[in-house]
Structure 1
Amino acid sequence: MARANRAARRRGTPRASRLGPRDVLHVGSAGLRSRPLRVVLSAIGIAIGIATMIAVVGVSASSQARLMRQLDALGTNMLVAEPGEGMFSGEQVKLPKDAVGMVSRIEGVEDVGATGDLRHSVRRSQRIPEGETGGIAVKAATEGMLDVLRGGTATGTWLNAANGRYPSVVLGHVAAARLGITEPGRQVWIDDRYFTVVGVLDPLPLAPEIERSALVGWQAAGELLGFDGHPTAVYERSTDASVPTVRELLASTIDPRNPHQVSVGDPSSALQAKAATEGAFSTLLLGLGGIALLVGGVGVANTMIISVLERRHEIGLRRSLGATRGQIRIQFVAESLMLSGLGGLAGVALGAAATAAYAHTAGLPWVVPPWAVGGGFGATLAIGTVAGLYPAVRASRLSPTLALQA
């Protein structure tokens, strides 16, 4: 090439000047400025595809952020021990009555609580048919349960040494909603007597079984409802460093003779799994967004082909004035990139706005991952390049003479 240029200089043949970045921007935007309506319509397809992808990723990331915040607040150091399967089919396994005391002596354990299932129903009054319980379970609960769960009361108070001896009950927030009770002081019918509601709990994501239950004091359950004192679930919270050790010792501590009959679970694992799979259902919507993006790319390519056909005289004139084929290709590829870039910017803004609106409505933190923004905008530029290649090559191959005669 250098040898050809030197030969051209010796012959006095004029050479085509190179296009600088400013020149490329100017010639590339000329077609967009002359047909603004077509530009807007072509960019809409790109914008819809990118907006869909950004919104799907953003909503999923916002939901994951809320779950991770819940995990940080609730902790992942709580374990629950429950009766497992007996050696024989149909054998009923019971945890020892002093299970709470034994667990509290394990090194590293900070808080321990327990619940015991009661075979009674809870209703708003004795006039409600016994079968209409709303799926609300009745459980005996120790005083330390709320500390283990890191929960609180929305209204009223928790069970304590004073009210736990009398017919008092605390409702989980789901149970309270089903009974239509929002404040303490109301009464509910359990077994053959009324119990006074002394509190309603806040939501407990780590213990959904408590949310759907009516909780009575451990002593009152034994004296008034025939509770045998055997817990059906022991909840403990230990230091983060002690969790693996406590997990290994928990079953053998509760039942040294038959540790295999004690099942140990981690309630936080459900939230962790939910956070990990939060974006699983977004795959379909991401696919739809990708299809919309491809359709937008086809629209850009179609727009550029039409632009080449309509601007044959311009192309012929530029070629006759010395523009090279490479410069013509650069012009139309740059125009395609600008067209796609405008759609991409609009799509990113729309997707971020849609995510913000959803997060505000659902009470989620607004999260739009930077990789989604960068990847989405990069995809628009890639599609714009591909969409503009064929029209650019076609434009560069036009003969100046034939183009000016058409």
Structure 2
Amino acid sequence: MTFSKLARKNMWRKPLRTVLLIICVAVAFLIYGLTASFVAGSQGSSAASEDVLGVTSVAGQSQPLPIAYLGRITSQPDVETVGYMTRLRGFVETENNVVSVSATDPARLMAVTGPQLGLTPVLIEALGGARDRLLVGRALANANGWIVGQRITVTSFQIAKQDGIRNWRFEIAGIFEGESTSTDTYFAIAHYDYVNASRALAQDTVSAFILRPRAGVSPSELAVQIDALFANSATPTRTQSEKQFLEAFMRQYADVGMIVNLVTGAAFVTLLMIIINTMIFAVRERRFEIGVLKTLGVSRRRIMMLVLAETLLVFIVGGGVGLALTKLATVLAGPAIGLTLTPMIIAKASAIIFILGIATGALPAFNAMRTPIVSAFRTR
């Protein structure tokens, strides 16, 4: 009887109890995997660049900036390329099907973030055929079943046309894939001129400027320079990296990171209490066997390691099942709701599995190690 085999035998001594523990662990890590994947997908933490800067109004992203700022930003020697965009948010067919359209200059966008979005000269050429054309991200296209050549109508929440109608009609000219699976492609790209010429209010303004520093230029230093340009203007700016920009956008609705930490923290604390209590009773049931092992010369340290190995096995199996279910969820529903299971999430989950496995087994293992042989034999 080897050490690992004895640990497995002890683990499956009561199959129903073990299965229930594994289910608890799997659910806890499924919650962690889904919430962490949502944060990674929604905030673009895995794909967002620190080198791409976004310039918005200091009053908030809902406050537009004059497009006349473009010339002053472009004239800065440390700026390599500059783009701009106006966000048109609305719905297609039903109000629950929310769609975000970035109205921009396609050529400028291609120069700034084209490779990251998976834009190609062929797609940009297809978009240039007519002003009412747009490019759709792969995730958005898959979620709605859209194809190239299809016409859609986006009913805007805020931007109305000059005739008062909020319906914006577009023809899908192409679908961009994104640089990797972690790239956010749940939005569409349209012509700024089309939206700007037709809207009733806030003409010649943009939601944000997007720029890339020249090689060797610190993005943080350039951000300070840009904000200093407009510090005394009617609409001062706030310049942030793409990652900071996305995180700030999410915080308009909720502090997603804090919510995730609270939810997963509560799940893991509950899990610790359940498994520690269960393992204490499991070790207590085996006091006589522990006494026999000590009588046969098994060291106290080896008995402690045996109990720790048992709890660690439960966490490895349960955590593996939870992460496998998370991966399945990201494959099936990830593109639609923005779930991205990154290697960093898997690495953190693996570390948590090891730490919790040791932490939950520490007290039962310590009790087993200290159990006197005479006291153990009195249980029979």
TM-score range for the pair, normalised by the shorter chain length: 0.5 to 0.7
* Residue of structure 2 in register with 1:40 after alignment: 13
Match of 1:384 among 361, 365, 372: 365
Letter in 2 for 1:40: R
Match of 2:112 in 1: 148
- CA distance 1:296–1:72, change in 2 (3 Å): closer
Does residue 291 of the first structure (1) align with residue 264 of the second (2)? no
Q: Distance in 2 between matches of 1:137 and 1:359?
A: 26
Q: Is the 8 A contact 1:189 1:195 kept in 2?
A: yes
Q: Which residue of 2 aligns with 1:346?
A: 313
1:95-110 alignment to 2 at 5 Å? 95-110=65-80
Task: Tell me the SS of whatever aligns to 1:235.
Answer: strand
Cα gap change, 1:342 to 1:242, in 2 (>3 Å): closer
Write the distance in 2 (CA, Å) between the matches of 1:39 and 1:207.
43
Q: 1:221 to 1:329 in 2, by over 3 A?
A: same
Tell me, yes or no, if the aligned pair for 1:42 and 1:300 is still in contact at 8 Å.
no
Q: TM-score, normalised by structure 1?
A: 0.60
| 1:122/1:138 contact within 8 Å kept | no
- Offset at 1:182? 1.9
Q: What is the SS of the residue equivalent to 1:158? A: helix
CA distance in structure 2 between the aligned counterparts of 1:222 and 1:282, rounded to whole angstroms: 44
Call closer, same or farther: CA 1:137–1:234 in 2, change over 3 Å: same
Residue by residue over 1:199-237, the C-alpha shift from the partner in whole angstroms, topping out at 9 and shown as x without a partner, is 3444799998x945562242x445555783222321122
Deviations 1:182-209 (A, max 9, x none): 222122457588543213444799998x
Q: Which residue is 2:86 aligned to?
A: 116
Unmatched tracts of structure 1, length 5 or more: 1-24, 87-91, 125-130, 316-326
- Identify which of 27, 39, 55 aligns with 1:81: 55
The secondary structure found in structure 1 opposite 2:29 is: helix
8 Å contact from structure 1 (residues 42, 299) kept in 2? no
Q: CA–CA distance in 1 between the matches of 2:312 and 2:81?
A: 53
- Which of 177, 181, 184 lines up with 2:148 in the alignment? 184
> Which letter does structure 2 place at the counterpart of 1:79?
L
Which residues in structure 2 correspond to 1:192-211 (within 5 Å)? 195-202=170-177, 211=186
**Out of 195, 212, 230, which is 1:237 matched to?**
212
The CA distance in 2 between the partners of 1:256 and 1:382, in whole Å, is 59
Could you tell me how far apart the structure 1 residues matched to 2:16 and 2:309 are? 7
CA apart distance, 1:176: 5.1
Larger Rg: 1
Give the counterpart of 1:167 among 126, 132, 140. 132
Cα distance, 1:297–1:41 mapped onto 2, change above 3 Å:
same
1:67 to 27, 40, 61: 40
Q: What does residue range 123-138 of structure 1 map to in structure 2 within 5 Å?
A: 135-136=98-99
**Do the aligned partners of 1:54 and 1:348 also contact (CA within 8 Å) in 2?**
no
Following superposition, the deviation at residue 79 of structure 1 comes to: 2.4
Residue 29 of structure 2: which of 53, 56, 59 is its match? 56
Change beyond 3 A, Cα 1:61–1:233:
closer
Structure 1 Cα separation of the partners of residues 175 and 134 of structure 2: 9
Identity across the alignment (%)? 12
Deviation at 1:62, TM superposition (A): 10
Given that 1:163 and 1:217 are in contact with CA atoms closer than 8 Å, whether structure 2 keeps it comes out as: no
Q: Secondary structure at the match of 2:147?
A: coil
Query: Shift of residue 243 of structure 1?
Result: 1.1
CA contact (8 A) 2:83 2:105 kept: yes
Give the distance between the partners of 1:224 and 1:57, measured in 2 at CA: 47
Q: Offset at 1:365?
A: 4.7
Pair 1:302 & 2:284 matched: yes
TM-score, with length taken from structure 2: 0.63
Cα distance, 1:285 vs. partner?
2.0
Report how far residue 141 of structure 1 moved.
1.1
- Say whether the 8 Å CA contact 2:46–2:182 is kept in structure 1: no
- Shift of the 115–41 alpha-carbon distance from structure 1 to 2, 3 Å rule, reads same
Q: Deviations over 1:45-83 (max 9, x none)?
A: 699379829973995599479939964643122222223
Aligned residue pairs total 338
Q: In 1, distance between residues paired with 2:287 and 2:67?
A: 82
Contact 1:53 1:376 in 2 (8 A): no
Amino acid at match of 2:209: V
Partners of 1:123 and 1:247 lie apart in 2 by: 36
